[in-house]
Structure 1
Amino acid sequence: MKKLLPTSTAGSLPKPAWIAEPEKLWSPWKLQGDKLIEGKQDALRVAVQEQQQAGIDIVSDGEQTRQHFVTTFIEYLNGVDFERRKTVKIRDRYEASVPVVVDSVARKNPVFVDDAKFLRNQTQQPIKWALPGPMTMIDTLFDDYYQSREKLAWEFAKILNQEAKELEAAGVDIIQFDEPAFNVFFDEVNDWGIAALEKAIEGLRCETAVHICYGYGIKANTDWKKTLGSEWRQYEEVFPKLQASSINFISLECHNSRVPMDLLELIRGKKVMVGAIDVASQKIETPQEVADTLRQALRFVDADKLYPCTNCGMAPLPRQVARGKLNALSAGAQIVRQELSAETAC
C-alpha cells in the first residue's frame, strides 16, 4: 500500500564546510578539478544519508553539486556571456550582477544528468530533481539579444525539456521546476509563463512539480515579506491556471507564512507539497507544529495528495539546524499519518 503523506524537501540543503563556505548562498567552491568532482559526490552522499536518517521519503541531491539553483544551469548554455555583467533587480526585490544573453541560447551537453545518475545509485527511494523554471531563468539574466522576456522563456523551456527528458531516462521520479517568479509577475505568468512551463514538461512520463514560494530566508526576502500585509494572497493569482495545467505537483510555502490555507481549495485535485518547515528561521519546529500545519492543509487537500515538505531550500542554514528541521518534518508527518490511519480504522 502506498505510504500516506510522503515527505520531501523543496530543494537545497546546507553544504559541508569542506566544499564551500557554510551558511552562504553562491559560495565559491573550495576545491578544483577532480577533487571538486569527488567533493561534490561526497557532499551528495552525505545529503542523501541525512535525509534517509531523518526519515525523508522522496530524496533529493540537496543541490550539493551546484552553486546556485538558477545560474549553475545557465553556465552550461551557449549564448550567455558570464564575463559581461549587468545589474538587474531580481523579482522586483533586490539588485544583483547577472550574466548577459548575447546570442541564441542552446544546450551544448547534458547539465545535471551525470549527477542525477549518481544520486539514483545512492538510494532505492524515489528521487526528485530540481531545475530552474523558464520565468525564473529570464529573471536572473540581462537579455541583450531576444529583447523579449516571452521569447527567451520559450527558448529556455525547450532547453529545459531536453534536460528533463534525459533526467527522466536517468531514473528521476519527480522533476521539479523552481518558479519563485510566479509569485511576482502575475500577468506574465497567466499570459505565457504557465504555457512555457507546459513546454518544459512536454512528453515527460515521470511526475512533474512546480515550486512557488516567497524565497530563501535572506534579508532581501524577509524584508519584502514584511511589506505583504496581514494576508499573502499572491498564490491566488496563478492557482486557477496551474490547477488546469498538466503539472502533477504544486510546491508552496505554508508554515509561519500569512498564506490563507483556504487558497489551497483553488488547486484541489493536484498533489500539493505543503511547506511545513520555515526556512527563514533557525528555530527548529516541533513535530506538533509541523502536524498542525498539515492538519490545516488537509481541510483543502485530499490526504492521498498531500506531501509534507519544506517551504523552500535550506542552503543558508547551519547544518545542525537543517538536520533538526528534517527530523521535525518527518516526525510531524508521522503524527498525522497515525491520526489518519486511526480515523480509517474507526
Structure 2
Amino acid sequence: MSKYVSSNLGFPRIGREREWKKAIEAFWNGKINEGELHDRLSDIRRTHWRLQQEKGIELIPVGDFSYYDQVLDMTVMFGLVPERFEYKGGPVPLATYYAIARGNESAAASEMTKWFNTNYHYIVPELGGREPELTKNTPLEAYREAKSELGIEGKPVLLGLYTFLKLSKGTPSFSIEEWSRKLLPLYVQVLRELQEEGASWVQIDEPALVTSVSDEDLELVQEIYGAIAQEVPGLAVLLQTYFDSAERYEQIVSLPVKGIGLDFVHGKAGNLEALRQYGFPADKTLGIGLIDGRNIWRTDLPEAQVLLEAIAALIPGSSEYIIQPSCSLLHVPVSAQAENGLPSVLQESLAFAEEKLDEINALSIAAKTGDAPALFAKSKEALQRLAGDASRSRREVQEAVSTISVQPSERSSVFSSRRLKQQAKWNLPLLPTTTIGSFPQTAEVRAARQKWRKGEWSTEKYDEFVAAEIKKWIDIQEEIGLDVLVHGEFERTDMVEFFGEKLPGFAFTRGGWVQSYGTRCVKPPLIYGDVEFDRPMTVKETAFAQSLTSKPVKGMLTGPVTILNWSFVRSDISRETVAYQIALALRKEVEALEEAGITMIQVDEPALREGFPLKPKDRSAYLDWAVKAFKISTSTVRETTQIHTHMCYCEFHDMLDSIQALDADVISIETSRSHGELIRSFEENTYPLGIGLGVYDIHSPRVPSEEEMVAMISRALQVLDPELFWINPDCGLKTRGQEETVAALKNMASAAQRSRNSLASASLGI
C-alpha cells in the first residue's frame, strides 16, 4: 500500500500582524538592539513551526525563515560579500548583511530583482574576486533549534546550487561552471553536516529547472547532484521544482536523489504529460504540489483528490508520495481568520497560508484513509457559491471585452509627429527632470489617513490635509527646479490598492499582507468579480495640483497589467480577460484626466515583466495581450497629450521590443541599482522614444552625490539620444524621508544642469 506524507515547502515569515517587519525596522531605527532582534525573530520562527505541527504537517520546513531574503542568506553563508563592503571573513555581521541589501553611507546596495515571475524580490548575489568560505551552516542551526527547542524533526530547506548560480551575476569573465567548482565542496559540507546531525529529508529548491535548461546547464546539474550523491551517500534529498513544469524532465527525474517535487498547479499540464510519456522512477518519492501556493482561493479538494489519484495511477510502482503546496507559502498572507469584514460569499472562499495547511492535511487524511474530511464538502460549496455570485455576471463588462478586437488600441499618429507637437506645447528644456510619482508617506500622512478611515476625521478635514501636503510638495518641487511635477500621491496607500478600492470587482482584506522585498509588505487586492469603471478616481487631486503651478503636473495611474499582476486574481476566467476589463476601466480614467486639462499622464507598468512566462514558448502570447491592454488604456488621447510609463527592478533586456511597442511617449526605467547594466542593452538596440533611466536608487537611504548622477547620465548619453532623454529617480519616493528626498532631488537637478551645460559646450566645440 502506498504511503502518503503531508509536507510544506515554506511559510510566510512576516507574522500575522507583520511582527517580523516591525522588529527589523525597530532594529534599523535603533529602538532595539541586536540581541532583542534575535529574540523577537526567534519567537516568530518557533510560532510558525508549532503552527505547522498543530496543523498536522509531517515534514515541516526549517531554514526557510530569513532576516531579509533567502538568496541573500545563501550569499552570506558562503561569505560572498561584495568587495565594496568592509568584510574581513568569518561570520558576516548583521550590519554588513543589511548593508548589502540596503546600502550604507560608503557603498551602494546590491541589485534587487524579481524572484522568477512573482512579486517577491531577491538580492542578486555578486560573485567576484572574493573566494567563498562557509561562514556558518544556517540550515543546520535552524534544524537544531527546531529539534532542541520544540522537538520537531524539521526538513531543512536550501536554495539549490544551480538556481543560486543562475540568479547570480559576476565580472565579465564570470563562469557558472567555475563558480560551481568553487562552491560545490562548501555546499556538500553543509549537506554532510545536516546528515550527520540526523536530518531525514533535505529540501533543495531548484526553481530554475522549470526555465530553459541548455545542454551545458544539464551537464552542470548532473555534475552537482552526482557529487552530492557521492559525497553524502544516503542523504534523502527532495529536489523541489515549482512555478511551472520541469524542463528536461526525463533527465531530472533520473538524478541521484531520493525525491522530486513537481508543481501540479502552475505546471499541471506539462508535468502530467511528462509523467504519461516518461513515467516516474519506482525508487523515488514524488512530491505532488496540489495546493496553490501563489493564490488565496480555497482548493476544490474533491477535484484535487481526483488529480492525486490520477497521478498515482500514472506511477504504479511508487510506494511513497508527499502531498504539499505547489511552492512555498511565502507568496500568500498568513491567516484568513481576521477577514470577517468581507461579503460572506467571498470570505468563505479564502485560504491563506494557515488554511492551506488545513487543506494539505485534509488531502493527506483522505489519501491515507479513503474518507474525505468535512473540509472537502465545505470547500466545494464555498467555491460554487462564489461562481454564482452576481459580481461575476456584469453583462456590459463582458460584452465590451468580447468586442476587444475592434476597440481602439493605437494612437492617432506616430511618435515622431506627436513629439514635435508635445514639445511645442510644453517647451521643456533638454534633459527634462521629473520624479516617478510619490513623495514621502510620513508618519503624519499615515496617521491622518487612519483617523479618516476610523471616522475620527471628516472627509472634509482629511481632504484639507491632503491638499496641504500637495501644496507643500508642489512648492518644494518648484524650489528645487524640477521641470515636470507630480502631486505626490498622499491620498494613496498603495499604487494598486488605491485603484482597486474604487473599481467594482475588487475586494480588500484586513490582514492580507505579503512580503514584496525586505520589510516592504503589500496587501494585494482580490479581483473576484467583473471589473468596471464607476467614477473618476484621480482627477480631483491632480487638477488641484495643476492649479498651483504653471509647470505640467503628471496624472498618475497604475497600468492594467500591474494591477493584474499585483493582485490575487480570480481563477475562473483567463488573466488576459481580466487585464482587458481593467484596461477598459482605466481608459475612462485617462479620458477624464484629459478632459480636466491634465495632458501629461503616467500609466505605470512596473510589473509588466513580472508576469513574463518562465518558458520561452509562452512569452510571445503574454506580451501580445499585455501590450494590448496597456494600449487600450492609453490610445484614445489627443496627439498633444503625453503618455508616460514606468518600470522597475526587472530584467528588461529581452523584452525591449515589447517595451517599445507600448508606444508610450516617455518611459522611465530603473538602472541605478543594477549599476547601469541596462544601458548595455541600448548599445545593441536603438530606442527611438522618450526614455528616462533612473539615476539613483530610492530603496537605499543614502543620498547619492551629484557626481554619481552626472556619471550615470554621461554613461546613458553615450547610447541614447539627448533629445529624448529624461532625468528621474528610479522609482517612487514614498518610502523615503523628506530630508533625504529633498537632498537627493537637489543633487539630481544640479546633475541635470551640469549635463546640459556639458552638452552645450560639446556642441560649440568648447
> Fold conserved (TM > 0.5)?
yes
Equivalences for 1:1-346 in 2 at 5 Å? 2-20=428-446, 28-31=449-452, 32=457, 33-82=459-508, 97-144=523-570, 147-186=573-612, 187=619, 189-205=622-638, 206-214=641-649, 234-258=651-675, 259-265=677-683, 266=685, 268-346=687-765
Q: Offset of 1:17 from its aligned partner?
A: 4.1
Q: Offset of 1:271 from its aligned partner?
A: 0.3
Tell me which residue corresponds to 2:229.
none
Tell me which residue corresponds to 1:217.
none
Q: Offset of 1:202 from its aligned partner?
A: 1.5
Kept in 2, the 8 Å contact 1:273–1:308? The answer is yes
**Whole-angstrom CA distance in 2 between matches of 1:172 and 1:193:** 25
Q: Offset of 1:90 from its aligned partner?
A: 6.5
Q: Offset of 1:140 from its aligned partner?
A: 2.5
Q: Which runs of 5+ in 1 are unaligned?
A: 22-26, 215-231
Q: Which moved more, 1:187-196 or 1:291-300?
A: 187-196
2:494 is paired with a residue whose SS is coil
1:211 is paired with a residue whose SS is strand
2:508 is paired with a residue whose SS is strand
Kept in 2, the 8 Å contact 1:19–1:30? The answer is no
Change (3 A) 1:184 1:37: same
1:175 is paired with a residue whose SS is strand
For 2:623, give the aligned amino acid.
N
Q: Which runs of 5+ in 2 are unaligned?
A: 1-426, 613-618
Change (3 A) 1:189 1:253: farther
1:172 is paired with a residue whose SS is coil
Kept in 2, the 8 Å contact 1:86–1:100? The answer is no
Change (3 A) 1:152 1:40: same
1:170-227 Cα shifts (integer Å, max 9, x gaps): 222321122121232222651311111111112112111221101xxxxxxxxxxxxx
For 2:669, give the aligned amino acid.
L
**Whole-angstrom CA distance in 1 between matches of 2:693 and 2:596:** 27
Change (3 A) 1:61 1:133: same
**Whole-angstrom CA distance in 2 between matches of 1:145 and 1:183:** 21
Q: Offset of 1:237 from its aligned partner?
A: 2.3
Q: Offset of 1:142 from its aligned partner?
A: 2.2
Kept in 2, the 8 Å contact 1:70–1:140? The answer is yes
Q: Offset of 1:318 from its aligned partner?
A: 1.1
1:318-345 Cα shifts (integer Å, max 9, x gaps): 1100111110110000110000111122
For 1:71, give the aligned amino acid.
E
Question: When the two structures are superposed, what TM-score results if normalisation uses the length of structure 2?
Answer: 0.40
Change (3 A) 1:95 1:3: closer
Kept in 2, the 8 Å contact 1:8–1:57? The answer is yes
For 1:244, give the aligned amino acid.
A
Kept in 2, the 8 Å contact 1:19–1:36? The answer is no
Change (3 A) 1:3 1:282: same
2:589 is paired with a residue whose SS is helix
**Whole-angstrom CA distance in 2 between matches of 1:94 and 1:77:** 25
Q: Which has the higher contact order (CA 8 A, sep 6+)?
A: 1
For 1:280, give the aligned amino acid.
H
Q: Offset of 1:167 from its aligned partner?
A: 0.9
Q: Offset of 1:267 from its aligned partner?
A: 5.0
1:126 is paired with a residue whose SS is coil
**Whole-angstrom CA distance in 2 between matches of 1:237 and 1:16:** 37
For 1:255, give the aligned amino acid.
S
> Percent of aligned pairs with the same residue?
26
**Whole-angstrom CA distance in 2 between matches of 1:321 and 1:280:** 12
Higher strand share: 1
Kept in 2, the 8 Å contact 1:15–1:43? The answer is no
Kept in 2, the 8 Å contact 1:81–1:99? The answer is yes
**Whole-angstrom CA distance in 2 between matches of 1:85 and 1:15:** 20
Alignment RMSD: 2.4
**Whole-angstrom CA distance in 2 between matches of 1:305 and 1:39:** 37
**Whole-angstrom CA distance in 2 between matches of 1:145 and 1:106:** 18
Kept in 1, the 8 Å contact 2:432–2:726? The answer is yes
Higher helix share: 2
